[in-house]
Amino acid sequence: MGQKGNRRRRGKSHPEGSTRMSTALLRALDHPLRREALRKMHISEVPQSAKALSKSIDAPATTISYHLKVLSLLNVITLVSKRRVRAALEKGFVSKIADHEQAIRILADTEGCDEALRLHL
């Protein structure tokens, strides 16, 4: 009961401008396809679609699309463009992790391992 003043407030323990690593984001970054997609979006200067990422990652566009939805729900990528391509709507996403040091470190530390891990999924 008397511990009300001792509770830590969310976000208060992190330096100004840094982003908090949630358990949901940590779990999301545990998947090599998500890390690879996020890594490619982070270094790209243009929005990336599921189709474009599927070609560079060598995975089905539907699978990439699912992983982009997960990353979007966690607010680490954002939808910036939509265009009609034949009967489909192509969505372009960009990374929002430029200021997220922990996520960038995870992407850098796992870069060499991801392709081998993806082959075993």
Other Cβ atoms closer than 10 A to 49: 23
Other Cβ atoms closer than 10 A to 47: 19
Question: What would the mean pLDDT of 59-82 be, rounded to a whole number?
Answer: 96
Q: What is the pLDDT of residue 11?
A: 40
Whole-model pTM?
A: 0.77
Q: What is the pLDDT of residue 70?
A: 96
Domains, the chain, ranges and CATH?
Answer: 20-119 (1.10.10.10)
- Please write down the long-range contacts of 22-28, taking CB distance under 8 Å and 24 or more positions apart: 22/74, 24/74, 25/74, 25/76, 25/103, 28/70, 28/71, 28/74, 28/76
Percentage of the chain exceeding pLDDT 90? 65
Task: Give tens-digit pLDDT for 4-18.
Answer: 444 444 444 444 444
Under the banding of pLDDT at 50, 70 and 90, the label for residue 50 is very high
Q: What is the pLDDT of residue 1?
A: 47
Q: What is the pLDDT of residue 119?
A: 64
Task: Give tens-digit pLDDT for 107-119.
Answer: 999 988 876 666 6
